[in-house]
Amino acid sequence: MEGRFQLKTELAVIGAGPAGLCAAIEAAKNGVDVTIIDENKKPGGQLFKQIHRFFGSEEHLAGTRGFEIGNMLLEDAKKYGVKVLLDSVAWGLFPDLTIGISTDKKVSILKTEKVVVATGAIENSLSFPGWTLPNIMGAGAAQTMININRVLPGKKVITLGSGNVGLIVSYQLIQAGAGVVAVVEALDHIGGYMVHAAKIARMGVKILTNHTITKAMGDKFLEKVEIAKIDSNFNVVKGSEETIKVDLVCIAVGLRPLSELCWMAGMRFEYFSELGGFIPVHDENMQSNIEGIYVAGDVAGIEEASTAMEEGKLAGIAASQALGKLRMGNQEASSILNEARERLRTLRLGPFGEYRYQAKEKIISKYYN
Ligand SMILES: Cc1cc2nc3c(=O)[nH]c(=O)nc-3n(C[C@H](O)[C@H](O)[C@H](O)COP(=O)(O)OP(=O)(O)OC[C@H]3O[C@@H](n4cnc5c(N)ncnc54)[C@H](O)[C@@H]3O)c2cc1C
């Protein structure tokens, strides 16, 4: 490392995805000096990979493509004067509210008064014999390759996992020129929205529930996989094995919060499988158990970009209020915070959101009521 610098800001936001950008924009609108840090070359987090139209309600930009939402947020961040540190990894978050950052070969220490951690999620993996062969990768990695790097990682694909990520990435691989042979799902039902499943089924993709990949084979690279039927105890049904030639396996078996910085700062955690595993305990304004450190988006429980944006807004407004910088009275602030919480509640209605809403409510009632 070549140098060490001491930087200062009023609010540091780690992660420039939809949650982080919304937190930064809300605080900057109130005149807070905000610095947002992201390890990528471009801000936007997952949004620039998402070429499909978002689902949900119009109020939450349903029908707009992910990257268009990303562009809107970037324009606002620029308009309100958010400072953006790109190509910068936050490697340490300390209880005295300092952040260790590496940019290129320089290390800097950012001293801040409030922090929003919005680092997003990481993909889960699944091991089976042969799973370390090249061309077996997370569906998110394949999505980054096709939609950001414009590289087609394989031409004959099998996807493991039928949640929305597995279904959408399968569709986008077809759009990018690959053939998707099948989506294999261990459960007895499709995990994601039927609209996404129907779209790929119409294109000839088999969706095989009660199935799994039992092994991957190949000399130097992936050449074929063996799939098999499984029973309700997840045991392979003997005699059902089938070998399929493929050159790409996409694993889409869920995401979990990317929360190392939260652990490092000493936050309290609770386990909620419906939110992706251990999540940092937070109050209704997204403040963690450490005063001055807020969490927002997938790091605070795996959901969607629309909920990430609302949580980011809540954290940004609450942090501005705690800094004494809100350009509005307390009454107006509480009504804006209440409206954001109400939008979150509405977003969490429906088959996928309800159990997440219950989990979030459980945390708040356990620790804060
Ligand atoms: C295939 C797919 C389709 C989806 N479709 C939809 C949809 O239609 N509608 C919808 O609402 N949602 C959708 N989502 C979900 C949505 O993308 C995420 O919920 C949302 O992006 C979460 O936002 P976030 O800001 O919490 O995290 P992210 O968007 O993941 O952003 C986190 C950012 O933090 C950065 N970061 C992490 N750690 C560090 C560090 N230590 N230092 C510096 N930077 C760091 C990351 O590089 C990243 O840029 C989809 C997701 C996938 C994978």
Of 112-126, 267-281, 323-337, the poorest mean pLDDT is in: 323-337
Whose CA is closest to atom 9 on ligand 1? 54
Q: What six digits make up the tokens of 63?
A: 């029908």
298: CA distance to ligand 1 center in Å? Answer: 7
Q: What six digits make up the tokens of 329?
A: 């009275």
Residue 354 CA: distances (Å) to CA of 211, 274, 359, 360, 366: 27, 10, 9, 10, 18
Identify the CATH number of the domain defined by range 125-251: 3.50.50.60
pLDDT band at 352 (very low <50, low <70, confident <90, very high): low
Q: Is CATH 3.50.50.60 the classification given to domain 3-122+255-368? A: yes
DSSP E strands, 252-333: 255-257, 269-272, 277-280, 293-295
Question: Which of 22, 38, 46 should be mutated for ligand 1, with most atoms under 8 A from CB?
Answer: 46
Domain spans of the chain, in order of start: 3-122+255-368, 125-251
pLDDT band at 54 (very low <50, low <70, confident <90, very high): confident
pLDDT value at 207 more than 50: yes
Residue 351: per-residue pLDDT? 66
Residue 339: per-residue pLDDT? 92
Question: Which of 116, 193, 295, 304 should be mutated for ligand 1, with most atoms under 8 A from CB?
Answer: 304
Q: Which residue has the higher pLDDT, 280 or 331?
A: 280
| Residue of 271, 217, 280, 211 lying closest to 244 (CA atoms) | 217
Residue 359: per-residue pLDDT? 86
Average pLDDT over residues 157-162: 98
Query: Could you give the CA distance from residue 275 to residue 279 in angstroms, rounded to a whole number?
Result: 7
pLDDT band at 356 (very low <50, low <70, confident <90, very high): confident
Residue 57: per-residue pLDDT? 66
Same fold, 3-122+255-368 and 125-251: yes
With contact defined as beta carbons under 8 Å apart, do 266 and 310 qualify? no
Residue 2: per-residue pLDDT? 44
Average pLDDT over residues 11-17: 97
Query: Could you give the CA distance from residue 169 to residue 148 in angstroms, rounded to a whole number?
Result: 13
pLDDT tens-digit series, residues 236-280 = 999 999 999 999 999 999 999 999 999 999 999 999 998 999 999
pLDDT tens-digit series, residues 91-103 = 999 989 999 999 9
With contact defined as beta carbons under 8 Å apart, do 213 and 226 qualify? yes
Residues flanking ligand 1, CB < 6 Å: 14-20, 37-40, 45-46, 50, 54-55, 89-90, 118-121, 140, 143, 164-165, 168-169, 258, 297-298, 303-306, 308
Whose CA is closest to atom 34 on ligand 1? 15
Q: Which residue has the higher pLDDT, 350 or 366?
A: 366
Query: Could you give the CA distance from residue 262 to residue 265 in angstroms, rounded to a whole number?
Result: 5
Residue 357 CA: distances (Å) to CA of 259, 314, 317, 352: 20, 16, 21, 9
| Average of per-residue pLDDT values in the chain | 93
Average pLDDT over residues 10-22: 97
Q: pTM (2 decimals)?
A: 0.93
pLDDT band at 346 (very low <50, low <70, confident <90, very high): confident
Query: Could you give the CA distance from residue 342 to residue 250 in angstroms, rounded to a whole number?
Result: 36
